């Protein structure tokens, strides 16, 4: 998970306009994702939750309106799929992020 979060931060700084992931037809850039992640890190840190929770919250906040009304199971699958997509390539090193 550390490598994934580092990747998001680095790309959020170097190429903030670059597409990070598509969520239900909505394009999310590394800049948007990094900004949301940083905001949620402060909140989850206060609650003594993990960085995985911050990433899940950041992705949830970026879901398009149609997915916000989907069942929780559907939303969770979208978030898990997004984490797998964002972590692609990290699996080559045996560091695939755990599903959130």
Give the model confidence (pLDDT) of 42-62 as tens digits.
887 777 778 888 999 999 899
Q: Where are the beta strands (DSSP E) in 1-100?
A: 19-23, 26-29
pLDDT of res. 47: 78
pLDDT of res. 89: 87
> In which residue ranges of the chain is pLDDT below 50?
94-100
* 26: β partners: 23
Contact 8, 20 (CB under 8 A): yes
pLDDT of res. 92: 55
Does the predicted model carry a pTM greater than 0.85? no
The SS3 of residue 53 is: helix
pLDDT of res. 91: 63
């Amino acid at each position: 998970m550390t490598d994934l979060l580092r990747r998001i931060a680095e790309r959020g700084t170097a190429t903030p306009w670059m597409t990070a992931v598509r969520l239900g037809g909505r394009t999310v850039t590394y800049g948007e994702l990094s900004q949301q992640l940083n905001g949620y890190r402060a909140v989850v840190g206060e609650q003594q939750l993990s960085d995985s929770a911050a990433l899940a919250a950041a992705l949830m906040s970026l879901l398009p309106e149609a997915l916000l009304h989907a069942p929780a199971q559907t939303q969770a699958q979208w978030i898990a799929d997004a984490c797998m997509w964002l972590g692609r390539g990290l699996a080559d090193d045996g560091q695939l992020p755990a599903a959130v």
